[in-house]
Each structure stands twice: as C-alpha cells, then as structure tokens.
Structure 1
Amino acid sequence: MRPTFHRFRNAFAATAFVALASLPALAAAPSLKPFDAEYVANYMGMEGDAHMQLAQTGAQWKYSLRIQSSLANVSQVTTFEENGGQWRPLTGSDNAAVLIKKSSKNAQYDWNKGVATWTGNVKPDRAGPVELKPGDLDAMLVNLAIARDVAAGKPLRYRMVDDGRAKDLVYTVAGKETITIGGKSHQATKVQRTDGNKQTVVWVVDGMPAPARILQRKDGSDEVDLQLKSMK
C-alpha cells in the first residue's frame, strides 16, 4: 500500500484528497479562476509545506498539488476541461518519494472511447479500463468540486474515477467553525466523510476556490493535515 501521502490524492475518496452515480451538482459550474495557495502540511506530527495551484492553458486547466517534508515529496497533477458545464479529467500524474520508496502513476481519461486507464506503478487489477460516465471526476477535482458546491449549497455527491476504480462519495455538512488563515479569522463550513476506520474532514471558506483545510484521519488519529496559509 502506498504511504499515507499518496492516499491524500484519494482523501476525497475516503473522503478525500475522490459520490453518487453521476454529478448533477456539476450541471452549472461557475467560471473557474486561476489561483495559487500555500499550506502547512503535517504528516504524523512531521511538518512540511504544500503548494496548490490552478492554471489555465488554452481550453484546458492544470490543477496541481505538491507536498514537501523531510519524510516525503509528493507531486500530483490533473489536467481537465470544462464540457457542457461539467469538469472532465483528461490526464493525471501521481509521483511520490517517501523515505527510500518511490512511485509513479499516470492516468488517461479517454472520453471518446469512454474509458480511463492507468500506467506506471499500478497493479494489473488497477490498470483499467474503467468505464467513464458523464460527471465523473478524479480525486484531485473533487477538492475543487467540494469548495464550489458548499458555497452553492448543492449536494456533496460525486462519482470518482481514480486509482483504477470508480467509487461513489457522499459528504455531509457538520456545521460551522472559525479557522485562522494568515492571522485572520474566517468562518468555515465543515464537511466530512467516513469510510470504515478512515475519515476525511474538509473546511471550506466562502469565496475561496479550494479547501481551507483538509484533515485525513485513521483509527481516530490524524494522519495528514493541510492548513491554508495564503491564497492569491
């Protein structure tokens, strides 16, 4: 099993880092805007830095996450497009180096053929193909979808196609909390999802296109915690 930092891409699958059948919640996606965000990353008590970015190149978008600490270096990138009001993943890459172990995976979402496939350090049963359905997201895009849908008051239900499988995700709103970002207090909506012994909690601040905090827990203990420092 990949180290915990890899599972951050799937945090919204246990989560969360990625649900019902299709995505009516994406039917009227607002216009995307590029952003750069810096986070404090904590892995099992070891602090590091994380950088999340959304950039546009022509008709496509590039959404990336980098996590660096003395224990691990992770780079995850998704390219996607807007199509009929929905976000469609096109490619994905997931590279991680944790201690002496390295791993690299690549995803291809072929909407013409209607299937997703994976190459690199993947098990045969996780290589695909997996059938694609309208509204499908990868785990990275669920991050953006949660931030968008909380603000719009829409159901937090997604079908995630990632890591060689399709999975339905449903998040529930757990109330409001005050969090601190860059020394300033903000009211955030807290949403969560539990999957067996794993739990992902996400805090969303109105007006911010990405989560202000993402916490992944296992067996009641914190594993991965990303807390926003700044966004522009």
Structure 2
Amino acid sequence: MRHLLALPLALLLPLAVQAGETAPQPVPAELEREIADADVLQPFMASYRVYRGGKHLGEATMQAVRQQGPRWRADLVMRGTRGLFGAVGINAEQSTVFDVVDGRYRPVAQATVNKSMFTRRQTVGTYDWSSREARWTGDVKNEWRAGPRELQDGDMTGLLINLAVIRDAAPGRTLRYRYVDDGRSVEHTYVVADELESIKAGELSYNAMRVERVHEDNEETIVWVVRNVPTPIRMLQRENGEDTYDLRLIEYRGVE
C-alpha cells in the first residue's frame, strides 16, 4: 500500500500538506454545511487491524497530532503480530509533518521506514516551499528519485491525501490530488460512490462513503470514510485483483 505506509516516528520533520482541487460539482446546501463543519482538522488516535487475503496479520495506529501554530504531524505505524507479517515486509512507519494553510494541508517533510526480516529501507523527504522544490535522501531507488522535484500548490504526501479525502468526500464527487512522495509525482483521481455503504468498525456500524482511486494499472485503492469521523473506516489496496493491505478500524478517539 505504497501511499499509506512510510515513516519512522524518530525521523519526523516539519511537513506541510495542501489538499488538491476537487472537481466542481453541485452539492446540496445542507451537505455543504456539514462539510464546512468537518473541515477543521481535529487531533485523533485510531487503531486498526491489518489483513491480507482475509488473514489477520497485525495491528496499525494512525494519528494526527497538533503542534505549534499551523503545524501538525500525521503518523501511520504498522506492526505484525504473526511471523508472516514481518517476513513479508509489512512492518512500516510513516510520518508527515505539515502546515494547515487556509484549511489545506501542505507538507514540509516526510519520513518512511519499511522493514522486513532481512531488509530495512528508510527515506526522508523535505518540501521547500520557498524554492518550491522537494528532495529525498536515504534509500532512494536511484538518482532520479532523489530530486529535486518541482512543487505545485496542492501537492501532498500519500498520508495527507488520506486526510484530504476525509475532508473532501461527498456522494458523487470526483476528487483530484497530486501525490508527491518517495521521489515521485503522480496525479491521483478518486471517485466517491453515489450511495452509502453499511460498514462495520469494531462494535459499531456506519453508513460510509466508498472512495475509489482510479488506476491505469492493476492496482486498486479504496477508502471508506464517514462524515465527522476523523480517520478512514477502512483502507484497502489490491493488486491484480488480490488484497495486499486491508486496514479495518477498531476504534478511535479525540486527543488534546
């Protein structure tokens, strides 16, 4: 799940994320008011179970932490509870420090660590908005991936796109963002289903919006979100029709 996983907490750097533009589509006035109320990012801590092919492999936590001024930090940490989980390289940490600018998320830095039984890959990205360039150091795949890459208004890391989807989703909407992470820049388009789906999280059931990323290859990314719930209810990635990562919410809580 490339854009969901990535950073070690010890490597946190200041980041800022700005949400991409959504396609202009009419939304009922009452829903617009709900969206406006949900636009304010709130600190939270969420716990997930991680599955692959229906098998429980481990646990994950996701959080948003308020820092000073407009600065925030978002983290996603995955840990295996079974031997297979670590052996296949699913243990991962991702952190993004970002600023909230005019209600948008703008990355300043990101760090990613992916670990398996035999390997450890670590990268750190910095987003310099004064020069409008992003660069990466560490275990980058090649010199081209190290950058610099030109930054555009609205560029976000993958972890921040997840938060932006929660903020922007409404039935029938199309959401467009530019992913700038791990030495790459890619246009991401998400389509929100017209109808809500019943989905369970822990002991609770929600009527959730299914948000599916449009791919040109054999990958699928689907996120289920609920208005006024600050974290995804479920995050699923498939490759060639098979589940690779499936994060299912157990519980969440607001934090100070």
Q: Given the two structures, how large is their TM-score scaled by the length of structure 1?
A: 0.86
- Aligned residues: percent identity? 37
Q: Give CA deviations for 1:181-217 in whole Å, capped at 9, x if unaligned.
A: 1212110011112421110111011211221101000
Aligned partner of 1:31 in structure 2 is: 40
* Residue equivalent to 1:91: 109
1:114 partnered with 2:129 = no
2:65 pairs with 1:55: yes
Partners of 1:50 and 1:217 lie apart in 2 by 18
Deviation at 1:173, TM superposition (A): 1.9
Task: Write out aligned runs for 1:196-211 (5 A).
Answer: 196-211=217-232
Query: Which residue of 158, 170, 177 corresponds with 2:177?
Result: 158
Q: Aligned runs of 1:145-224 on 2, under 5 Å?
A: 145-151=164-170, 155-174=174-193, 175-195=195-215, 196-224=217-245
AA at the equivalent of 1:125: W
1:225 aligned partner, one-letter code: D
| Distance in 1 of aligned mates of 2:146 and 2:103 | 29
| Alpha carbons 2:3, 2:157 under 8 Å: kept | no
| Deviation digits for residues 122-180 of structure 1 (CA, Å, limit 9, x no counterpart) | 02110011101111111110000001111597541101111112111111123321111
Residues 43 and 101 of structure 1: is their aligned pair in 2 closer, same or farther, counting only changes over 3 Å? Answer: farther
Distance 1:186 1:85 in 2: 26
Deviation string, structure 1 residues 47-96 (Cα, Å, up to 9, x no partner): 20000010011021000000001323211000000123321101100011
Taking only aligned residues, the RMSD between alpha carbons, in angstroms, comes to 2.2
Which of 1 and 2 has greater Rg?
2
Q: What is the DSSP-based 3-state SS (H/G/I as helix, E as strand, rest coil) of the residue aligned with 1:171? A: strand
Which AA in structure 2 matches 1:85?
A: G
Counterpart contact for 1:6–1:96, Cα < 8 Å: no
* 2:3–2:158 Cα contact (<8 Å) kept: no
* Structure 1: unaligned runs, 5 residues or longer: 11-21
Contact kept? 2:77, 2:94, Cα under 8 Å: yes
Match of 2:4 in 1: 8
Structure 2 counterpart of 1:61, which letter? Answer: W
Q: Secondary structure at the match of 1:94?
A: strand
Are 1:141 and 2:138 an aligned pair?
no
Alpha-carbon deviations, 1:89-119, whole Å to 9, x = none? 0110001111211110001000011000000
In the alignment of these two chains, the number of paired residues is 216
Q: In structure 2, what is the equivalent of residue 43 of structure 1? A: 52
Tell me the distance in 2 between the aligned counterparts of 1:134 and 1:194: 22
**CA drift at 1:6:** 4.8
Contact 1:94–1:106 at 8 Å: present in 2 too?
yes
User: Post-superposition, which runs of at least 4 consecutive aligned residues in structure 1 deviate over 6 A?
Assistant: none
CA contact (8 A) 1:149 1:155 kept: no
CA contact (8 A) 1:61 1:80 kept: yes
